[in-house]
Amino acid sequence: MAIADLDDPAFERLLRERTSSIVHGRPRTPSDLVFMGARELRDLKRLNEVKKWIEPNGAIWVVRPKGGRSEIRDTDVIEAGLAAGLVDNKIASFSDSQGAMRLVFRLRDRPR
């Protein structure tokens, strides 16, 4: 599991209760999950690089400020995902102030 540009100590404590294999930044081997923080639209451009960090059946959770707190909208994440060859398949409330969207490879597009 990897965390990129997401500074949330409480979330990391919860993760560490479940696993000890957490990497900050690019993992050495493909990961099943990456939690990527995005505060500005330009942060979504990193998806082209971060998608190389996940296993073929892995996922990237893009975590961003909710509602009017951010210039990033759900549609921006969806569009950036599509541009990177990923699709959205889940949306969640990450915290009181942040939302998250999960991006994955389409079944037909998964690297072998």
pTM for the full model?
Answer: 0.93
Structural domains of the chain, ranges and CATH numbers in brackets? 2-109 (3.40.50.150)
Q: What is the dihedral of CA 71, 32, 9, 101, to 10 degrees?
A: 30
Q: pLDDT tens, 59-89?
A: 999 999 987 778 999 999 999 999 999 999 9
Number of separate helices (H) and strands (E) present in the chain:
3, 6
DSSP state, residue 28:
S
Q: pLDDT tens, 26-69?
A: 999 999 999 999 999 999 999 999 999 999 999 999 999 987 77
- Give the whole-angstrom CA distance, residue 45 versus residue 49: 8
